[in-house]
Structure 1
């Protein structure tokens, strides 16, 4: 979660709950099917604000500094998503 939080959605994030270790989202091994990434994905998968988190990270993350599991996605997955523009990004339109 990187950008401004104007409506307080971060307080409702599953990763912000007591007992959830923030370090769990920044594993050294980013194998998409590995145990560390899968553990982070389980938390993200149950998150009520996952979509807001994804929109936030896609709009504000520096592509050269992607790291960790955010919104259930690894840096490589976010790179692919950003490149393919599978989600609308603020300020990015389609030319007519």
Structure 2
């Protein structure tokens, strides 16, 4: 059978460092990641690839978000009307071993 999304319990950790620590602690506690617990974190860092199992992440377009925010701020300061509504930026899911189980 092909690998597929885990049907284990899920945990979503808000931050790459927290995700790395949480994964390490789960493995040390004998929890089988991802068979018993699937883990996904916000923010992708190079270290996410090197922990065992490698850590799945949701990547945010931080640079683009910052650039858009500063542009809107300057527009407001200079009295230019602009779109002051909600701006949605796409996120990218980076799937690694921490959220896939083997059958």
- Report the TM-score when normalising by structure 1: 0.29
Q: For the pair shown, which has the larger CA radius of gyration, 1 or 2? A: 2
Structure with more relative contact order (C-alpha pairs < 8 Å, separation 6 or more): 2
Q: Which has the higher helix share?
A: 1
- Report the TM-score when normalising by structure 2: 0.28
Q: Which has the higher strand share?
A: 2
